[in-house]
Amino acid sequence: MARSIYLGYAVAAYLIFFATFLYLIAFVGDLPFAPRTVDRGAESALLPAVAINLALIALFGVQHSVMARQAFKRLWTRLVPPPVERSTYVLFASMALILLYAFWRPIPGDVWRVENGLAAGILWALFAGGWLIVLLSTFLLNHFELFGLQQVYFHGRGRTAAEPQLRQPFFYKLVRHPLYTGFFIAFWATPHMTYSHLLLAVGMSTYMLIAIRYEERDLVGVFGSDYEAYRQRVGMLTPRIRRRTT
C-alpha cells in the first residue's frame, strides 16, 4: 500500500514541477498567453515592489539550497520517508515558484528594447536555446532521479541505487554546470529588458552563483580528488579556453 502511495505522490510532484517549469518559461519571456509574468501582474509602489520581489527570490533560493544540503536531508528524512524525500524537495521548489508567480510585482521602465527584427530574433533564439540546455542537461545525467521518480520506482522494486559516478556527458565535457548556464542565458537573453526583468535576472543569477559554491562543496565530498581534477580542467559556466603550450 505504501509503495502505491509513494508512487502516486512522486508522479503528482513531478507533474506539478513540470507544469511549473513550463510556466516559468512563459513568466520570464512575458509570453502573451500567461496571465501573470515578470512584466504583468498586480502593481505596487516601487519600494514595496522591490522588497516583495527580493523576498520571493530569497525564499526560492533558501528553499532550493537548504533542502539540498546533506545535513538537512539527514534531519528531514526523520519526518519524510526516504523514497519520497526528493519528490518532496521538488514539490517545495515548485511551491516556491508558484508563490513567486502569484505575488511578483512588475516594475515599469525599460533597460533596453531591441527594435531590429533580426537582432530580436537572435535574442529569442538564445532564450529558447537556454531553456533547451536546461532540459537536456537534466536528461544527460538522470532526469528521473533528479526529480524523484527513480527513487520511488527502485523502492517499489526492492532495488538499491548504484553508487554515484562522476560522469561528464556532452555539455558536461565543456562546463561543469550546464543547467545553470542554460538558466543564465534564459534569464538574460531578451529583446525587451524591463526593470522588473532585470531584478529577476540579477536576483536569480546571484542565487545561482551562491548555490554553485555549496553544490561543488558537496560534490567534492562525494567524488573527492576526481571532482577536484574535473574542476581544474573544465570551466564552471563557460568553456575554459587554454593556450596550447609547446
Q: Spell out the residues 6+ positions from residue 87 whose beta carbon is closer than 8 angstroms to its own.
A: 9, 10, 13, 14, 147, 148, 149, 151, 152
Euclidean distance between CA atoms 193 and 42, whole angstroms:
19
Does residue 246 sit within a domain? no
Does residue 121 sit within a domain? yes
Query: What pLDDT digit, counting tens, does each position of 129-186 carry?
Result: 999 999 999 999 899 999 999 999 998 888 888 888 888 998 999 999 999 999 999 9
Euclidean distance between CA atoms 68 and 15, whole angstroms:
20
- pTM of the model as a whole: 0.93
- Average confidence score pLDDT of the chain: 93
Amino acid symbol at 58: A
Q: Residue 199: is its pLDDT beyond 80?
A: yes
Backbone angles phi, psi at 37, to 5 degrees: -140, 180
Q: Residue 2: is its pLDDT beyond 90?
A: no
How distant, in Å, are the alpha carbons of 4, 172, 209 from that of 240?
47, 12, 17
Does residue 242 sit within a domain? no
Does residue 79 sit within a domain? yes
Q: Residue 243: is its pLDDT beyond 70?
A: no
20 in Cβ contact with 100 (< 8 Å): no
Euclidean distance between CA atoms 202 and 184, whole angstroms:
10
Euclidean distance between CA atoms 18 and 10, whole angstroms:
12
Cell of 189: 537573453
Can you give the pLDDT at residue 1?
67
Euclidean distance between CA atoms 211 and 219, whole angstroms:
12
CA quadruple 137, 216, 183, 143: dihedral positive or negative?
positive
Does residue 245 sit within a domain? no
Q: Which helix or strand (DSSP H or E) is residue 101 part of?
A: helix 85-103
- State the residue range of the domain holding 108: 2-233
Nearest CA-CA partner of 102 in 59, 45, 148: 59
- Residue 204, classed as helix, strand or coil, is helix
Q: Spell out the residues 6+ positions from residue 157 whose beta carbon is closer than 8 angstroms to its own.
A: none
Q: Residue 69: is its pLDDT beyond 90?
A: no
Can you give the pLDDT at residue 246?
43
Number of domains in the chain: 1
Q: Residue 118: is its pLDDT beyond 90?
A: yes
Q: Which residue has the higher pLDDT, 48 or 65?
A: 48
227 in Cβ contact with 167 (< 8 Å): no
Does residue 243 sit within a domain? no
Does residue 238 sit within a domain? no
Can you give the pLDDT at residue 68?
84
Q: Most confidently modeled of 62-66, 113-117, 154-158? A: 113-117
Q: How far is CA 148 from the centre of its chain?
A: 15
Q: How confident is the model at residue 32 (pLDDT cuts 50, 70, 90)?
A: very high
15 in Cβ contact with 164 (< 8 Å): no
**For 45-52, what is the mean pLDDT?**
96
How distant, in Å, are the alpha carbons of 112, 128, 131, 191, 221 from that of 118?
16, 15, 20, 10, 47
Does residue 33 sit within a domain? yes
